[in-house]
Amino acid sequence: MSFFSGMISTVFERRYRGAVDADARSTPELAHDLLGNHGEVSGGTLARLILDRYAKMDRARKLAFFEFMTNGLNISAEAVTQTLQAYQDAPSKESYRNFATACEPRRQELTRRLNQVSGATARLVAMRKDLLDFLPDHPELGPLDVDIRHLFASWFNRGFLVLRPINWTSPAEILEKIIAYEAVHAIDSWRDLRRRVQPADRRCFGFFHPAMPTEPLIFVEVALTKGVPTSVQALLADGRDAIEAEVADTAVFYSISNCQSGLAGISFGNSLIKQVAADLARDLPALKTFVTLSPIPGLNKWLKTAALPAAPAGQEAALAAHYLLEAKRADGMPLDPVARFHLGNGATVHAVHAGADTSENGMAQSGGAMVNYLYDLSQITHNHEKFVSDKTVIASATVRTLSGRITKRS
Amino acid sequence: MSFFSGMISTVFERRYRGAVDADARSTPELAHDLLGNHGEVSGGTLARLILDRYAKMDRARKLAFFEFMTNGLNISAEAVTQTLQAYQDAPSKESYRNFATACEPRRQELTRRLNQVSGATARLVAMRKDLLDFLPDHPELGPLDVDIRHLFASWFNRGFLVLRPINWTSPAEILEKIIAYEAVHAIDSWRDLRRRVQPADRRCFGFFHPAMPTEPLIFVEVALTKGVPTSVQALLADGRDAIEAEVADTAVFYSISNCQSGLAGISFGNSLIKQVAADLARDLPALKTFVTLSPIPGLNKWLKTAALPAAPAGQEAALAAHYLLEAKRADGMPLDPVARFHLGNGATVHAVHAGADTSENGMAQSGGAMVNYLYDLSQITHNHEKFVSDKTVIASATVRTLSGRITKRS
Amino acid sequence: MSFFSGMISTVFERRYRGAVDADARSTPELAHDLLGNHGEVSGGTLARLILDRYAKMDRARKLAFFEFMTNGLNISAEAVTQTLQAYQDAPSKESYRNFATACEPRRQELTRRLNQVSGATARLVAMRKDLLDFLPDHPELGPLDVDIRHLFASWFNRGFLVLRPINWTSPAEILEKIIAYEAVHAIDSWRDLRRRVQPADRRCFGFFHPAMPTEPLIFVEVALTKGVPTSVQALLADGRDAIEAEVADTAVFYSISNCQSGLAGISFGNSLIKQVAADLARDLPALKTFVTLSPIPGLNKWLKTAALPAAPAGQEAALAAHYLLEAKRADGMPLDPVARFHLGNGATVHAVHAGADTSENGMAQSGGAMVNYLYDLSQITHNHEKFVSDKTVIASATVRTLSGRITKRS
Amino acid sequence: MSFFSGMISTVFERRYRGAVDADARSTPELAHDLLGNHGEVSGGTLARLILDRYAKMDRARKLAFFEFMTNGLNISAEAVTQTLQAYQDAPSKESYRNFATACEPRRQELTRRLNQVSGATARLVAMRKDLLDFLPDHPELGPLDVDIRHLFASWFNRGFLVLRPINWTSPAEILEKIIAYEAVHAIDSWRDLRRRVQPADRRCFGFFHPAMPTEPLIFVEVALTKGVPTSVQALLADGRDAIEAEVADTAVFYSISNCQSGLAGISFGNSLIKQVAADLARDLPALKTFVTLSPIPGLNKWLKTAALPAAPAGQEAALAAHYLLEAKRADGMPLDPVARFHLGNGATVHAVHAGADTSENGMAQSGGAMVNYLYDLSQITHNHEKFVSDKTVIASATVRTLSGRITKRS
């Protein structure tokens, strides 16, 4: 197919090049062609030409292309002001359309038109990854990122995402991406991967976008257990005996990984956890408890700076609880980013465990401590309200008691 | 699935209703909830509640809802002016984002958030159909339509559409929509439908959006023939002998139908014809000619008003050619809407036939005359250029000669 | 695909024809080629040639072909006797294989080798249909039918059949066969079909063989109801309100149709009903009762011959009950063929209804009476045992009472 | 699904156990139940019980079970003789059926009835693997194997097999079997596997049976090249540059592996190679040459025993050619098993290469020599004829010349 569709597109491209010498035109000129009359008939050809050119650009040329999009396809303040005034003076469909058109920089339409060829969406997502890499040193590109992120938020709307199970019957081309993208507890090998997706008591689900069918956007790994687990090494132990899914009472979300840097800032995690919880609850009626087994990435860093009394041995869990409940940012939100995510989703701090992640990374970030956040479907709206309005961190009595053992010095 | 997912959503909804009494809240209040904090956690529930309420509204309530979206979720001119000034004074990601946010009325975000539940996209498309029905009498809703159309153009971007063959192995639920939506040559029955999609020399293709998998957006019916056909009744005759697809030299696009009134103004036809032509050319190398067999819907209406000499019998084709080449709108574009569509796609007027559609409708609109527009893939960019820039209607020598036989009475 | 694979096979065929002039060889000669050395390399070509020849044969030639298979490819009694003796004298793998080979006529191997090309299975099933048509007048072909039926029983083994739901998302090419094959309550139109497969409280399932994916072998239509229905017209009424499947307590098997005459004598019905009952019970836990709503095809015919007192009006149900419980064949089995089928499956006679099928056919065969056979999954093994060993017809007390009202005139 | 279907089957099993105490019955008794009345209604339950029992048997019990099948379910010579006589005396459908029934031992029907539950086919194939393991020490089980092989040959008829591409989009559960089953050039890792199936110039195809959808029966690995390759290490080199499939002129079958020991004696390789060659020829018109790159497994072993003059260095290819052309079994067929396979398929000896497989295994079996067998689709029928009738080994002039350099010491 790719061969023949390539042939066809070559025909079109030759025609286009016949009519207009594409090679002699700069990428901005091609972009203007795509935005103009040519775009209606030769849009696919032009979009492919521009994307292919982009793929071959070095960093300097990419920067130039982004600067063209930022400055060359920006709004005109004058046009905004004029059309706004005209709309104010005589509100109508026409005057409003003029205003709306003036407000939206042409770079948005360019991005939409680039998207018309097969495979373009993934290439545009990759393009934004490049853009994000430039941003720290080139803050002037910020407005371009605002527009692309806005467009992506519309394209990757929850209603367009597809939840798919990922397991040992999944295509290898998808599974190798799970290995590559796993961000929390690294997957060493295909054998390790199989332990995560094949046993009867393991599940993995990802969100996919129909235009990028082999690219997970985000995925979550789930263990089905009896009781709430207290150690990720035990959970993932090689050679453990799997249980039947039907007898499990607890679903443990032990790893959630975003896959696409180019979609940074567009949040899928909240929806994913709730959808997976709902689907599991439907299929496995014995499941009563939905928890995470989560890292506490900011604990050790905070401990170094916190004015705490020397903790006696055995106080690791208490310190972790204290950190989760008391350590705050300037805006009053929890210091720990994972805590902010789950509490923002309406979860609560359910239990804290010392020695729960004895990997090098686990020891380095939190001395091995981990936390269960509890998703009680009947409480998450209420919890979320409290968290958002009052910044209240809801925790179990056990965790509160643990935390209370730690007293600030002075 | 729908049962259980219903159960789950009911759980969520009860929770939402527990936290906030949904029944006591007006639809605008729910809309504001969806746009606010509640939306992050209870978004799905709120979206469903609003869409379900909408589905039960009478016309008056729908109008009120649209007026709320138009006026209650409009831009603030002051905010636009202020943020524009701030961006002008100090361009930055932050100041640009504030401007972009101020320019986009909240009704766009509301529409995106409504889209997060399964099946919402089709319901929103149906909602726009309602809106379009109101527009003639309620021009004040125009700005709302501008925004929704803008959003749909982004969502139904060519890159997200899927071309699918429609044939006798297609699901009945899709085939019955082909019967319902066929706009050019009505399909009487399943038997008639089978004649259009099952024989070896017939094809049908449609564009689908992944979020509306059982709803074609547009479809085209194709006959594979030897030579260019001159009669649609012959083409569709019951009992005719089908030929092998591999021996056909001509692909005839004899019917193209839009299916979704709610997507009015978003054009798919140009892409569809080119994609289908490219796919057929790839699969059937013997195909050399791609033409339409098209109605001339405006002919008879124009004849009534045109200052033409009495035409001797046998001049039907000449009159049709003359109409297609000479009858113009005030802006210089062809009067015939079908002609505008195909010529705008870069096709040419290839041949005109009298007695080509002897159906009641065909006789009424054009006295039975039809036209072949030719899609020469190597010329369409060039033709399109000429048509757009000079409004040149390119026609074959035969058609030009035919047209020349008719002289305007002076 | 068919075009190109046709091309390829033509290459092979030309080669075969190059090596051996196929056209000059009789069909029996080609059959011997297929059974011999040529078969190993040119088997596909030979099989296609023979099947294509068969397809074009008139009745006389088909008969000749069947006679060749019957007599020309029969066992040799001498070989059987000799190899049996040798096996008896010195039992070994080798001597047993010789015996087994001698016992199996070559026509079985021919049939297997004919099956090696795509689509052959359906053509062989159609071939047996022809054979069955000949049998009454040509009993000498009986042994051929014994062998083919034996082979089909092995090929269409339950383990190879696939149960598939048939509904409004099924391909039209399958649905049109449901219309064609429905044997119990005729389907008039696609609209009528939709009433059988689309509503939430209707189901249809069929067994398919992987080598005949568009051909149902047998299908059953199911209505989900509250309570046991007493009228098929009420069940199928146009315009009735469907109920939610989840609230139904009863699954009614109201029609079961065999589709392939060429598979006569190979029974699928027992397996189909049990598999469908098991699947429905799993998916819809509220279902408690599994019954049929069955015709009583032999009732009126029997009434004409039975020595019964003149029945007062209102005795229709009693007569039907009496017939089902008391009317027997010479071998002691129930006279009614539908009764034999369901009782043989382990079902019981649950209820009898007058006026339950007021169609022309229903009135003609049973004066409108119908019967519910009950499939109690916990009792069917037991019931079957009793039926097979003692020919006991198990019926509900109500039906037994009804039946008792009728007394034979002595 | 497995959970619920398990539940249902448990219901059935309890009923069966209620009616007949299954646990108290020996496996032969259950087998007789399955063959008798119970089989009609409780067949699925009985089949599952027996297969589950078998799965738990130790070797001694398996042997006993096979002996029961061999002796307990054998033919009766007396019945064969009597029914044969009756059929001879009065040929009829009835008398022939009696004979056919007498000839077929009940173990065949038992095997068919065991096959009626989901997954049974794979378990029966595994059962035959066990049987084959017993055969050398228990030749008395030979007749049982004759019957099961006969049944499998019917079930795994070419017409029921499905050719499927195996590539990087295939399920991991299938790909891991490719790693496990590759018999010619071992696959070390998933990375190695990806090199075999993902690049644009690699293909892999397997035959599957619909009842064992995740178990390849046989697969072939293909490289698309320019020119005929002379080294398997070069072909499989890590880091090589793939070519576009469309520019390849040669398809190289460099590995073909049978996967199911339990299907020993049922040949799929001939069909597979021809089907794959036909499919590739259709999809890639530039392919002109179809060859293997094959091992010469018997070369070194033969060299040790052959009366050959000491070969000067550089004569490896000549020796290999001589071996392939001249080394024969007592029956006149080539000594080399791989040669017998490809020559029997109608291929020819095209070229011989020294140093073509420098792996440990390659050096050990043939001193690194390999051979290309050529599949010329226009000649294979002819070649096959010659090979079968005259045992002629057709070889290219080059190979014949090479071979001629070696003279037997007299």
* Residue C410 placed within a domain: no
> Catalytic positions of C, please?
294, 342
The answer, yes or no, to whether residue D406 has pLDDT greater than 60, is yes
Using an 8 Å CB-CB cutoff, list chain A residues near B161. Answer: none
Which chains touch A (3+ CB pairs under 8 A)? B, D
**Do A228 and A100 belong to one domain?**
no
Predicted confidence at residue B310, as pLDDT, reads 55
Q: Which amino acid is at C90?
A: A
Number of domains observed in the structure of chain A: 3
Closest CA to D170 of D130, D200, D198: D198
Residues D147 and D168 in one domain: no
Q: How confident is the model at residue A304 (pLDDT cuts 50, 70, 90)?
A: confident
Identify the chains in contact with B, defined as 3+ C-beta pairs within 8 A. A, C
Q: How far is CA C119 from CA B49, B304, C124, C268, D158, in A?
A: 52, 59, 9, 22, 11
B210/A379 Cβ within 8 A: no
Nearest CA in chain B to A155: B155
pLDDT (tens digit per residue) in C133-162: 999 999 999 999 999 999 999 999 999 999
Question: From the candidates B4, B96, B112, B115, which should be mutated to test the interface with A, based on the most A CB atoms within 10 A?
Answer: B96
B contacts of A97 (beta carbons < 8 Å): 142-143, 146
Q: In percent, how much of chain D has pLDDT > 70?
A: 91
- Tell me, yes or no, whether B311 and B333 share the same domain: yes
| pLDDT (0 to 100) of residue A154 | 95
Nearest residue in B to C191, CA atom: B190
The chain-wide mean pLDDT, for chain A, equals 90
Domain end residue (candidates: C135, C155, C175): C155
Predicted local distance difference test score (pLDDT) of residue A389: 85
Which one of C80, C121, C159 has the shortest CB-CB distance to D211?
Answer: C159
DSSP string, B248-274: --EEEEEEEEE--GGGTT---HHHHHH
> CATH number for the domain including D61?
1.20.140.90
Handedness of CA C257, C261, C267, C271 (dihedral sign): negative
Asked whether residue D277 carries a pLDDT value surpassing 60, the answer given is: yes
Find the CB nearest B377 among A11, A103, A282: A11
Is A97 in Cβ contact with B41 (below 8 Å)?
no
Q: Is B151 in the same domain as B163?
A: no
pLDDT in tens, A54-74: 999 999 999 999 999 999 999
> For residue range C313-332, what is the model confidence (pLDDT) as tens digits?
678 899 999 999 999 999 99
Please tell me whether residues C151 and C17 are part of one structural domain: yes
Asked which of D262, D292, D322 is the last residue of a domain, the reply is D292
Check which CATH number belongs to the domain holding D305 and give it: 3.40.630.150
Check D255, D257, D294, D366 and give the catalytic one.
D294
Look at chain B and count its residues: 410
What distance in Å separates residue C16's CA from the closest CA in chain D?
Answer: 6
Task: Report the residue count for chain D.
Answer: 410
Chosen from A12, A37, A41, A82 to mutate, greatest number of chain B CBs within 10 A: A41
Given this model, what pLDDT does residue A300 score?
Answer: 92
Side by side, the strands of the sheet bearing C348-353 are C162-165, C202-208, C216-225, C250-258, C289-292, C370-374, C348-353
Spell out the residues 6+ positions from residue D294 whose beta carbon is closer than 8 angstroms to its own: D254, D338, D342, D370, D371, D372, D373
Q: How is residue A160 written in tokens?
A: 């367009």
Give pLDDT tens digits for D135-165. Answer: 999 999 999 999 999 999 999 999 999 999 9
**Would the CA dihedral through C168, C171, C175, C181 be positive or negative?**
negative
| Chain position carrying tokens 């032990």 | A254
**Could you write out the DSSP letters of every residue in C264-275?**
TT---HHHHHHH
Percent of chain C predicted with pLDDT > 90: 77
Q: Which of C277-281, D123-127, D380-384 has the highest mean pLDDT?
A: D123-127
**Tens digits of per-residue pLDDT, A244-269?**
999 999 999 999 999 999 999 998 88
Question: CB D175 to CB A170 under 8 A?
Answer: no
Give the β-pairing of D250-258 and B348-353: unpaired
Tell me: do D138 and D11 sit in the same domain.
yes
* pLDDT over 80 at B70, yes or no: yes
Q: With 70 as the cut, is the pLDDT of residue B11 above it?
A: no
**pTM for the structure as a whole:** 0.91
C409 within domain boundaries: no
Average pLDDT, rounded, for chain B:
90
What is the helix (H) or strand (E) element at residue C254, kind and residue range?
A: strand C250-258
Per the CB < 8 A criterion, the answer to whether C28 and C68 are in contact is yes
Scanning the structure block, which residue is given the tokens 């029944």?
A: B23
Query: In this predicted structure, what is the pLDDT of residue A183?
Result: 83
By the 8 A CB rule, do D111 and D73 touch?
no
Preferred mutation among A87, A160, A164 to probe B, highest tally of B CBs within 10 A: A160
Of the given ranges (A120-129, A167-176, A393-402, D38-47), which has the lowest mean pLDDT?
A: D38-47
Tell me which chain B residues have a C-beta less than 8 angstroms from the C-beta of C175: 172
Query: Does position B17 have pLDDT exceeding 70, yes or no?
Result: no
Q: Is the pLDDT at A399 greater than 50, yes or no?
A: yes
Task: Taking residues B158-168, report their average pLDDT.
Answer: 95
Contacts of A102 (CB under 8 A, 6+ apart): A75, A76, A79, A80, A82, A83, A84
Q: Establish if C334 belongs to a structural domain.
A: yes
pLDDT, greater one: B1 or C383: C383
Q: Greater confidence, B338 or C43?
A: B338
pLDDT at D319 over 60: yes
Contact C171 B168 (CB under 8 A): yes
A31 with A50, same domain?
yes
Which secondary-structure segment (H or E) carries B316? helix B316-326
Provide, as residue numbers in chain D, all residues whose Cβ is less than 8 Å from the Cβ of C345.
41
**B164 and B135 together in one domain:** no
Could you give the CA distance from residue D366 to residue D359 in angstroms, rounded to a whole number? 11
Q: How far apart are CA C366 and CA C369, in angstroms?
A: 5
pLDDT tens, position by position, D50-77:
999 999 999 999 999 999 999 999 999 9
Q: How many CB pairs under 8 A join A and D?
A: 36
Taking only the tens place, the pLDDT of each residue in C339-394 is 999 999 999 999 999 999 999 999 999 999 999 999 998 888 889 888 988 898 99
Q: Do D115 and C151 touch (CB under 8 A)?
A: no
The answer to whether B354 and B316 have CB atoms below 8 angstroms apart is yes
pLDDT in tens, A194-248: 999 999 999 999 999 999 999 999 999 999 999 999 999 999 998 899 999 999 9
Taking CA atoms, what residue in A is nearest to D1?
Answer: A283
Answer whether residue A32 shows pLDDT above 80: yes
List of residues 6+ apart from A52 with CB closer than 8 A: none
Residue D20 confidence class, pLDDT cut points 50, 70, 90: low
Give me the half-sphere count of Cα atoms (radius 13 Å) on the Cβ side of residue D266: 25
CA distance D357 to D186: 13
B63 and A110 Cβ atoms separated by less than 8 Å: no
Q: Check residue D269 and give its pLDDT.
A: 86
D34 and D116 assigned to the same domain: yes
Task: Quick: pLDDT tens for B301-357.
Answer: 998 887 666 556 678 899 999 999 999 999 999 999 999 999 999 999 999 999 999
Task: Residue A345: name the closest of A288, A268, A406 by CA.
Answer: A268
Q: Where are the beta strands (DSSP E) in A152-271?
A: 162-165, 202-208, 218-225, 250-258
The 10s digit of each residue's pLDDT in C78-89 is: 999 999 999 999
Taking CB atoms and an 8 Å cutoff, what residues of chain A touch B120?
159
Q: Tell me how many degrees the CA angle C4-C10-C16 measures, rounded to the nearest 5.
A: 150
- The predicted-structure confidence for D320-376, as pLDDT tens digits, reads as follows 999 999 999 999 999 999 999 999 999 999 999 999 999 999 999 999 999 999 999
Residues C257 and C319 in one domain: no
- C323-332 long-range contacts, Cβ below 8 Å, gap at least 24? C323/C296, C323/C298, C323/C299, C324/C296, C324/C349, C324/C352, C324/C371, C324/C393, C324/C395, C324/C399, C324/C403, C325/C349, C325/C393, C325/C395, C325/C399, C325/C400, C325/C403, C326/C403, C327/C298, C327/C302, C332/C391
Q: What is the ipTM of this complex?
A: 0.89
> Is D37's CB within 8 Å of C345's CB?
no
- C212 assigned to some structural domain: yes
Among A119, A134, A155, identify where a domain stops: A155
Nearest to C105 by CA among C136, C144, C134, C50: C144
Determine the Cα–Cα distance for residues D368 and D357; give it in Å rounded to an integer: 5
CATH code for position A247? 3.40.630.180
pLDDT digits (tens, 9 = 90+) for C172-182: 999 999 999 99
Count of residues in chain C: 410
- C3·B170 Cβ contact <8 A: no
Could you tell me the residue range of the domain that residue C11 belongs to? 2-155
Buried b (16+ CB within 10 A) or exposed e, D273-305: bbbbbbbbbeebeebebbbbbbbbbbbbebbee
Helices (H), D90-197: 93-103, 106-114, 120-134, 142-155, 172-181, 190-197
Q: Which residue has the tokens 């210089």?
A: B332
Q: Assess whether pLDDT exceeds 50 at residue B409.
A: no
> How much of chain D, in percent, has pLDDT values that exceed 90?
77
pLDDT at B328: 93
Contact D296, D366 (CB under 8 A): yes
B409 domain-assigned:
no
Which pLDDT band, with edges at 50, 70 and 90, does A310 fall under? low
Least confident of A249-253, A312-316, B390-394, D255-259: A312-316
Q: Name which of D1, D4, D164, D168 to mutate to probe chain A: the one with the most chain A Cβ atoms within 10 A of its Cβ.
A: D168
Indicate whether C371 belongs to any domain.
yes
Query: What is the distance in angstroms between the Cα of B242 and the nearest Cα belonging to chain C?
Result: 15
Residue C218 included in any domain: yes
- D115 and D168 inside one domain: no
C-alpha–C-alpha distance, residues C291 and C269, integer Å: 14
A409 within a domain of the structure (yes/no): no
Judgement on whether residues D135 and D7 belong to the same structural domain of the protein: yes
The three-point CA angle B339-B345-B349 to 5° equals 45
Residues on chain D bordering chain A, Cβ-to-Cβ distance under 8 angstroms = 3, 168-173, 175-176, 190, 194, 214, 244-246
Task: Determine the pLDDT at residue B253.
Answer: 97
Query: Is residue B6's pLDDT more than 50?
Result: no
What's the confidence (pLDDT) of residue B269? 86
User: What's the pLDDT score for residue C39?
Assistant: 65
B301 vs D116: CA distance, rounded Å: 70
> Quick check: helix, strand or coil at residue B295?
coil
Neighbours of D206 (CB within 10 A): 27
Specify the pLDDT at position C183.
83
Looking at the complex, report in whole angstroms how far the Cα of residue A234 sits from the nearest Cα belonging to chain B: 32
**DSSP per residue over D229-260, as a string?**
---HHHHT-TTPPPPPGGG--EEEEEEEEE--
End-to-end CA distance of chain A: 73
